[in-house]
Amino acid sequence: MKKIHLAFCLLFIYISVSAQKHEPVHTKKDRRDFQGYTIRLLPSTEGTYGYVILKDNELLAHQSRNPFTFSTGGLKSKEDAFKVAQWQIEQLKNKQPVTATMTASGKRKLPPVLLQKIKSQHNAMSFSNQRLPRKVAADLHILVTY
């Protein structure tokens, strides 16, 4: 009987500790400057995180969903959100708006006319809730459960 009581106590402690892992987003603390861009974290549903990317106070990208599964919950950790945002900034700096030209599978491209229009408007365009290929998660060492 004592073993069962001890097991329940340990289970209760484990659940309590696990529930406390989520850190709230602090507007001043949870932001980074990266290569001339500003990344700000956003709270998302289910205790997850999203982000916005700004350049000179102009919104370039807004990501509140998980970019790999496209579920309403964002990324599991703050560090994962920063990694994805930094990857996206590198794509923006290289003039490769991967998120705007790929479909959900990451393989099919948009029609050439529409692709050219997106590329011509790239500098004046902001992206919202992009879907990224699973390979990006693997490259960034982000664990994603599908």
pLDDT tops 70 at residue 105? no
- By residue range, what is the domain housing residue 132? 24-139
Q: What residues pair up with 8 in beta bridges, in sequence order?
A: none
Question: Would residue 118 count as lying in a domain?
Answer: yes
Q: How many domains does the chain have?
A: 1
Would you say residue 114 lies in a domain? yes
Q: What is the mean pLDDT of the chain?
A: 76
Confidence of residue 111 (pLDDT cuts 50, 70, 90): low
> Which tokens in the block code for residue 71?
């579920």
Q: 14 lies in a domain? A: no
73 vs 86, more confident: 86
Q: Is residue 6 part of a domain?
A: no
For the stretch 82-95, pLDDT in tens is 999 999 998 888 87
Confidence of residue 57 (pLDDT cuts 50, 70, 90): confident
* Structural domain contains residue 123: yes
Mean pLDDT of 50-64: 89
109 in a structural domain: yes
Question: Which alpha helices (DSSP H) does 53-111 contain, by range?
Answer: 78-93, 98-101
